[in-house]
Amino acid sequence: MTETSAAQTLASRFDVGLFDLDGVTYTGKNAVPHAAEGIRTALANGMRVAYVTNNASRTGEQVAEQLVSLGMPARPEEVVSSAHVAVGLAQERLARGARLMIMGGPGLHDAVAKADYFTVVQSADDYPEAVIQGFFPEVNWEALSEVALAIANGAMYIATNLDKSVPRERGIMVGNGSLVLAVCNTTGAVPLSAGKPEPEIYRMAARFKNAENPLFIGDNLDTDVKGAVTAGIPCLHVLTGLASARDIVLVEPARRPTYLCDDLRGLNEPYPEHSRDDDGWHVVGDRRARWTGTAFELGGAQLTDPLDLNTYRALAAAAWAASDAGTDAKALAAAVPELTVRRKSEH
């Protein structure tokens, strides 16, 4: 974790917040607790926002409408989706007027139409030069098979994203990556991917906001955090979506976030610095943790207790340092039970 002044909030340290949607601002049709409050306060403190999503099924207008209905400030032009990046990838590789087949929802169709670059075709029998596959709930065997046929006819294969799952109100459901995998299994093709964790979507969002010092906020280690690391953009992880506190503590360097919090309230609270003392204790605020070589010790707490935020941060720092020093991953995993993180006021 990066060391920051105890007096600084993340909203004051970074000029633009790039927010993931599913699992960070909302889950399905429901707002994530404290998300609206966190974003509104960050805006009031001077942070500008953009919403970055791998979901290419909806237009910017539709996304902004949902966010506003949940109490979050949003405009259509603040939404950057993998559909925009997918269209850009196709434009870079194909001449104007090239035949393009689309399998996706309104967001992808809207991005293609606004580009005004391609000749859109409906069938593999039209020999498209490329096919873009994006998530939409109505996908069926017929549509997936049409993509496979287009690829067999020579079409370049572009996927808006490769998320295997998406969080919804009822639980974790099938994502676009799982549907893409069906086509890959059929054709042997490997698609170009436009969405997270590929770095271009982060860079596009940062360019769009003229960000000098952006912060990405996400919940998914495999997409959000890994992509931010690849793009060289600091990342705040929140525990409102896919990855658990235990996942964070045990994660390898390529998927490690820069900052840790429970939810978006953390943007507007002083983020304490991390230090390590001569006895091997990792200290965050008034909390500490260390790896003894066989187990983790916490100052004044047990791993099975509900952990406050700074104990969680100290534990993650201790685990990451132990891993980086060569401690076997299986030994670390065996030493960490499922973790519960709660604020002091919620204990």
262 is catalytic: no
Kindly name the residue from 20, 110, 219, 262 that is annotated as catalytic: 20
CA gap 188, 152 in Å, rounded: 10
The residue type at 108: L
Strand runs (DSSP E) across 175-319, as ranges? 192-193, 214-218, 235-238, 259-261, 274-276, 282-284, 287-291, 296-298
* Residue 92: Cβ within 10 Å count: 7
Q: Contact 88/100 with Cβ under 8 angstroms?
A: no
Measured CA distances, 334 to 32, 60, 195, 305, 338 (Å) = 31, 44, 34, 17, 11
The token duo for 9 is 């909030």
Q: At what angle do helices 141-152 and 176-187 cross, to 10 degrees?
A: 50
20 is catalytic: yes
Phi-psi region of 340 (alpha: psi -120 to 50; beta: other; left: phi over 0): beta
Q: Residue 11 burial by CB count (10 A; 0-12/13-18/19+): exposed, middle or buried?
A: buried
* Residue 157: Cβ within 10 Å count: 21
CA gap 63, 60 in Å, rounded: 5
Kindly name the residue from 22, 224, 262, 263 that is annotated as catalytic: 22
Q: Is the dihedral of CA 200, 261, 168, 339 positive or negative?
A: positive
Catalytic site positions: 20, 22
